[in-house]
């Protein structure tokens, strides 16, 4: 029994939401899942059978299992968000049954905000309706990675394959405008049970999975951010003078004993000494775990502070842009003080600007002066104190927030961060200098000494140079060849007289940086050139930055060591940023073999404007193509450190798009990438 319980507790959890138009059968579908998976108690079944008979219905109304409000039962609609729980031997599930009526859009946002998957129901008799599009768009806006489009009531169209394929074609055409990677189409009858748990005998032409099978096997961990460690401190535990721990739930990422961390906002650094979970200590914890962290050093840490990895910290900002769904009957007011709740912090904030409202039926922007109930818009927000932010696309937990009306204590809006303005943090700040390929030991302003390799390093520069020359770590000629650049803390990015927003408005599209990475021969430059031509013919403002182009001039002084590659990418990213600020779509094609370097480029450009594209093929195909003859030279030993041959390449972990050029033609790759770009 205990082993069974332990196994049950270790099962993973899938949160999913259902949405669609009115009377598409959402509640019936959930009732069918609960009924066919044997997740209903006998007294519950007897109660809904009695209610169905009293209502004069011929069949048991399984929707009554989720429609809990009296008004819902009487009108046979869903009004509130209904949460239900069930489990199979393979997985646990939490379902959010959300309403279909347009006036309950805010309820749909609430139910979908924590979902890993969304089920969009479409009535086979009606096809793709406006409300189906509305809920699909909101699902993608909330970054739900998996969509399951269930064409319901197939029994009422004689289980027609033509009807099913027609609806699939219509939805795919609409979905090409959205940002979604995974869409699965399943023909069902929630009332009759076709393709819910068991395969339907009425649709032999359908070879896909049943709905429950898909829910049991869809990969959940892939959508969780296990890269960016974020730990908002909820409580400081001090049971005795010898123990100080920081309790909370890991929002994202993983952490191990011994990892170096930075505490925000103080920016003081330390290392993880111990990680305690329920039942004892552990060497590692990950996103979703509730833990108590202990660190090596005595640092003043309070509720609302955040602990992050030292080489991967969030934006520290008092101003940011966001998508805001308005959830209050009182319209949004510009410059009114609201309470903003973000992770474990609650501070004051004002909405300074409403850039536009989004018509969720057509996904078009339109001018607006305020947001009404259930409306969604792009806003600019200022806060009374800096927040530790990531973009919502990168990190849902640290990229989301809610606004509360302080006069009524009502939740006024729910937001998703799109872009943050970085500000200088308080704490030990030193004037850095980039020293290429040099090992130095310097004071960092906190009294500690650390060995730094090719990263930002503190002053004094002249003293560091002299010490390096005298120590023999680097000779004078090498020092003179690798000129370093002093970075002044007084340098501020100064926008031109024409703002980026004005340029984008004239261009008719937003600027972005599309970063294609892959080994030589994978097809980066070919795809980049083809994509630019396609966008140019559409009237877009474009620019291409290619590895050979950059190395022919701007980075001609660099070699191919890891340090030189890093500097090459740093300079290229800054050039891409300059083009971006002029509203241009910048297409970059660089080998950029190291994950750390690509993340540096993302931070330089801005995470919300950086789209990493993995262009890959098997090594044999790349060597066979060998467009520049590099592999032939490497085999002869005439060149060394060729990425993919005798130098490593780190595959992107969570790219915007993956293009397998061994299986896709150039045109297919360009088309697949173009479909993903919301421009």
Strand-strand pairing, 268-277 and 260-264 = antiparallel
pLDDT at 51: 61
In a domain? residue 479: yes
Per-residue confidence band for 63, with pLDDT thresholds at 50, 70 and 90: low
Do residues 600 and 453 both lie within one domain?
Answer: no
What is the C-alpha to C-alpha distance for residues 523 and 589, in angstroms, rounded to an integer? 9
Segment among 42-51, 287-296, 298-307 with least mean pLDDT: 42-51
Structure tokens at 533: 């031509």
pLDDT at 669: 92
pLDDT at 494: 54
Per-residue confidence band for 53, with pLDDT thresholds at 50, 70 and 90: low
Q: Shortest CA distance to 574 belongs to which of 594, 613, 603?
A: 603
Higher pLDDT, 432 or 56: 56
Do residues 518 and 380 both lie within one domain?
Answer: no
pLDDT at 200: 92
Of 171, 197, 222, the one marking the end of a domain is 222
Range of the domain at 385: 315-421
Per-residue confidence band for 81, with pLDDT thresholds at 50, 70 and 90: low
Per-residue confidence band for 48, with pLDDT thresholds at 50, 70 and 90: low
Per-residue confidence band for 486, with pLDDT thresholds at 50, 70 and 90: very low
Do residues 301 and 337 both lie within one domain?
Answer: no
Asked whether the CA dihedral 614, 620, 623, 627 is positive or negative, the reply is negative
Per-residue confidence band for 70, with pLDDT thresholds at 50, 70 and 90: very low
> Helix (H, G, I), strand (E, B), or coil: what is residue 491?
coil
Average pLDDT over residues 232-243: 88
Per-residue confidence band for 339, with pLDDT thresholds at 50, 70 and 90: very high
Do residues 392 and 469 both lie within one domain?
Answer: no
Within 13 A of 539's CA, how many CA atoms are on the CB side? 5
Highest-confidence range of 148-162, 430-444, 498-512, 624-638, by mean pLDDT? 148-162
Q: Does the pLDDT of residue 40 top 90, yes or no?
A: no
* Active-site entry in 520, 525, 592, 608: 592
Average pLDDT over residues 236-264: 90
% of residues, the chain, pLDDT over 90: 30
Do residues 10 and 114 both lie within one domain?
Answer: yes
The total of structural domains in the chain comes to: 5
What is the C-alpha to C-alpha distance for residues 540 and 226, in angstroms, rounded to an integer? 35
What is the C-alpha to C-alpha distance for residues 645 and 626, in angstroms, rounded to an integer? 12
In a domain? residue 493: no
Q: Shortest CA distance to 52 belongs to which of 79, 83, 30, 73?
A: 73
In a domain? residue 491: no
pLDDT in tens, 588-610: 999 999 999 999 999 899 888 89
In a domain? residue 549: yes
pLDDT at 10: 54
CB 261, CB 406: distance < 8 Å: no
- Which residues, in sequence order, are bridge partners of residue 401? 415
In a domain? residue 522: yes
What is the C-alpha to C-alpha distance for residues 75 and 54, in angstroms, rounded to an integer? 15
Q: What is the DSSP letter of 446?
A: S
Structure tokens at 481: 């060849």
What is the C-alpha to C-alpha distance for residues 405 and 129, in angstroms, rounded to an integer? 34
What is the C-alpha to C-alpha distance for residues 32 and 48, in angstroms, rounded to an integer? 13
In a domain? residue 142: yes
User: Residues 6 or more apart from 415 whose CB is under 8 A from it?
Assistant: 322, 323, 324, 325, 379, 381, 400, 401, 402, 403
Do residues 292 and 335 both lie within one domain?
Answer: no
Do residues 382 and 344 both lie within one domain?
Answer: yes
Do residues 236 and 217 both lie within one domain?
Answer: no
Of 421, 453, 470, the one marking the end of a domain is 421
Structure tokens at 374: 């259930």
Q: Does the pLDDT of residue 448 top 80, yes or no?
A: no
pLDDT at 587: 95
Do residues 121 and 56 both lie within one domain?
Answer: yes
pLDDT at 1: 36
In a domain? residue 575: yes
Distances (CA, A) of 550 to 222, 512, 544, 568: 34, 19, 10, 8
Segment among 66-70, 123-127, 248-252 with least mean pLDDT: 66-70
Q: Does the pLDDT of residue 484 top 60, yes or no?
A: no
The beta-carbon contacts of 420-424 under 8 Å, at least 24 apart in sequence, are: 420/315, 420/317, 420/319, 420/320, 420/321, 420/389, 420/391, 421/317, 421/318, 421/319, 421/320, 422/315, 422/316, 422/317, 423/316, 423/317, 423/318, 423/386, 424/489
Per-residue confidence band for 440, with pLDDT thresholds at 50, 70 and 90: very low
592 is catalytic: yes
Average pLDDT over residues 1-25: 64
Assign residue 639 the CATH number of its domain. Answer: 3.40.50.300
Cβ-in-10-Å burial (0-12, 13-18, 19+) of 441 comes to exposed
Q: Does the pLDDT of residue 160 top 90, yes or no?
A: yes
What is the C-alpha to C-alpha distance for residues 529 and 673, in angstroms, rounded to an integer? 13
Average pLDDT over residues 378-400: 87
Do residues 576 and 645 both lie within one domain?
Answer: yes
Do residues 184 and 144 both lie within one domain?
Answer: yes
pTM: 0.53
Of 457, 486, 515, the one marking the end of a domain is 486
pLDDT at 529: 92
pLDDT at 50: 63
In a domain? residue 197: yes
- Which residues, in sequence order, are bridge partners of residue 613? 516, 657
pLDDT at 677: 85
The CA-to-CA distance between both ends of the chain, in Å, stands at 56
Average pLDDT over residues 630-654: 85
């Amino acid at each position: 029994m205990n082993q069974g319980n332990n196994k049950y507790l270790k099962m993973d959890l899938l949160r999913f939401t259902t949405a669609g138009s009115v009377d598409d059968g959402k509640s019936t579908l959930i009732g069918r899942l609960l009924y066919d998976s044997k997740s209903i108690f006998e007294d519950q079944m007897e109660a809904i059978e009695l209610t169905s008979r009293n209502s004069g219905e011929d069949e048991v109304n399984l929707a009554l299992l989720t429609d809990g409000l009296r008004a819902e039962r009487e009108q046979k609609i869903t009004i509130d968000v209904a949460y239900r729980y069930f489990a199979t031997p393979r997985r646990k599930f939490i379902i959010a049954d959300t309403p279909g009526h347009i006036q309950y859009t805010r309820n749909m946002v609430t139910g979908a905000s924590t979902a890993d998957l969304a089920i969009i129901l479409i009535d086979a008799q009606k096809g793709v309706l406006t409300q189906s599009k509305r809920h699909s768009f909101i699902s993608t806006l909330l970054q739900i990675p998996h969509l399951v489009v269930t064409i319901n009531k197939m029994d009422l169209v004689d289980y027609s394959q033509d009807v099913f394929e027609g609806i699939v074609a219509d939805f795919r055409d609409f979905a090409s405008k959205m940002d979604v990677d995974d869409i699965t189409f399943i023909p069902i009858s929630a009332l009759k049970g076709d393709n819910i748990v068991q395969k339907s005998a009425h649709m032999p032409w359908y070879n896909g999975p049943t709905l429950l099978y898909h829910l049991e096997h869809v990969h959940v961990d892939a959508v969780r951010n296990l890269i960016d460690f974020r730990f908002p401190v909820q409580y400081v535990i001090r049971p005795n003078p010898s123990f100080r721990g920081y309790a909370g739930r890991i929002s994202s990422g993983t952490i191990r004993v011994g990892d170096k961390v930075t505490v925000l906002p103080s920016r003081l650094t330390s290392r993880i000494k111990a990680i305690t979970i329920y039942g004892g200590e552990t060497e590692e914890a990950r996103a979703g775990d509730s833990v108590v962290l202990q660190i090596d050093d005595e640092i003043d840490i309070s509720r609302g502070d955040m602990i992050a990895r030292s080489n991967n910290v969030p934006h520290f900002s008092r101003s940011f842009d966001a998508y805001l769904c308005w959830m209050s009957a009182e319209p949004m007011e510009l410059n009114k003080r609201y309470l903003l709740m973000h992770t474990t912090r609650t501070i004051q904030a004002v909405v300074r600007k409403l850039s536009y409202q989004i018509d969720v039926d057509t996904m078009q922007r339109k001018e607006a002066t305020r947001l009404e109930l259930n409306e969604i818009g792009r806003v600019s927000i200022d806060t009374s104190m800096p927040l530790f932010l990531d973009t919502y696309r990168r990190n849902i937990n640290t990229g989301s927030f809610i606004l509360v009306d302080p006069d009524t204590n009502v939740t006024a809006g729910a937001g998703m961060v799109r872009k943050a303005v970085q500000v200088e943090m308080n704490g030990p700040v030193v004037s850095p200098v980039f020293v290429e390929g040099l090992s130095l030991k310097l004071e960092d302003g906190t009294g500690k000494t650390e060995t730094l390799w090719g990263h930002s390093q503190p002053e004094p520069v002249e003293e560091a140079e002299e010490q390096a020359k005298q120590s023999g770590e680097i000779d004078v000629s090498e020092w003179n060849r690798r000129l370093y650049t002093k970075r002044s803390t007084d340098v501020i990015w100064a926008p031109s007289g024409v703002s980026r927003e004005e340029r984008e408005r004239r261009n008719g599209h937003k600027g972005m940086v599309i970063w294609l990475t892959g080994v030589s021969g994978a097809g980066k430059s070919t795809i980049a050139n083809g994509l630019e031509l396609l966008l140019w013919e559409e009237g877009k403002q474009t620019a291409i930055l290619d590895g050979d182009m950059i190395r022919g001039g701007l980075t001609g002084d660099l070699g191919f060591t890891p340090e030189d590659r890093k500097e090459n990418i740093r300079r290229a990213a800054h050039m891409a940023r300059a083009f971006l600020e002029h509203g241009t779509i910048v297409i970059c094609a660089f080998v950029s073999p190291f994950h750390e370097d690509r993340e540096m480029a993302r931070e330089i450009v801005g995470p919300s404007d950086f789209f990493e594209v993995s262009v890959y093929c098997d090594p044999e195909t790349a060597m066979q193509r060998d467009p520049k003859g590099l592999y032939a030279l490497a085999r002869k030993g005439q060149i060394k450190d060729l990425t993919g041959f005798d130098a490593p390449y780190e595959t992107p972990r969570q790219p915007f798009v993956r293009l397998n050029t061994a299986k896709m033609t150039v045109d297919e790759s360009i088309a697949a990438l173009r479909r993903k770009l919301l421009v």
